[in-house]
Amino acid sequence: MKAISKISGRPLIEIKDVSKVYGQGQAVMHALRGINLQITNGDFVAVMGPSGSGKSTCLNILGCLDTPTLGTYLFMGIDVGKLTRNQRALLRRHYLGFVFQNYNLLKRTSSIENVELPLIYRGLPAAERHAYSLNALKAVGLKGWEHHTAGELSGGQQQRVAIARAIVTEPTVLLADEPTGNLDSERSRETIELLARFNRDKGITIVMVTHETDMASYAKRSINFIDGLIVNDKLQETS
C-alpha cells in the first residue's frame, strides 16, 4: 500500500504532517488535517476525492501557490513554507508547470504568445522563445494554429495550448487541476494521453487532480482524499 520511492535518494516532493486551516473562530475550516505524502521524480499521480476533500488545497500547496498552516513541505529539499512570495514565484517559474480546468489562457492572445509567456518570465531571447514555443505547439498537435487566439479554438485545442504552455519550460513537475473537467470524453482521452506521453517521454512528474476514475487510470499511482485526509494511496497498472 505504501508508495515507495523507486529512485534512490531524496524524493522530489515531501509533505510532512501538513495541515491547512482557513478562516478563524466559528468559521474555521480545516482543508487538510495533517497529511503525509512523498512523490518521486518521474511519477504520475492522480489525486481523487469528493469536492471539499482537500485535493485542490493540496495541489495549491504542491504548486507553491499556497503554504501550509502547519507541517512542512519540502520541494527538492527546499522548505517552501519558509520562502517569501517572490521566492515561491521563482520556484514556479523554473520548476513547475500548471494546467487548469478552465485552461486560463490570456484572452485575445494568440496561441504562440500564450505559450511564450513563461519563457518571457524566464528571460529567454525572442528567437529562442519562438523556436521553443513552436516546438511545444507542434508537440501538442497544434502546428498551424499558432496565430489563433483562445476564442478561435475549441475547448480541447485551448487545453492543448495550455499544456504546451506548461511543458514549454520543461518543468520538473506539472500540476494539473481537473484538466479534463470541461472536455467531452474523446477530448479528455486525447488530453490525458498527451499528459501521459510527456510523463513517459520527458520524465516530467505529473500530479493531476481529477474526478473521473477512467482518467485516473492513466496514472501510475492514485491517491484518495476524504475530509482533508489521505485515505487511499496505491500504485496501479497503467493501460
Residues that bind another protein (CB under 8 A): 60, 63, 65-66, 85-86, 89-94, 96, 98, 100, 104-109, 113, 117-118, 120-123, 165
Across the beta sheet with 229-235, the strand order is: 96-99, 173-177, 205-209, 44-48, 221-226, 229-235
Least distance (Å) between residue 204 CB and another protein: 16
| Least gap, CB of 186 to another protein (angstroms) | 27
Please report how close the Cβ of residue 126 comes to another protein at its closest, in angstroms: 9
- CB-nearer residue toward another protein: 96 or 216: 96
Nearer to another protein, 100 or 145 (CB): 100
For another protein, the closer CB: 72 or 104: 104
Smallest separation (angstroms) from another protein to the CB of 121: 5
Nearer to another protein, 51 or 239 (CB): 51
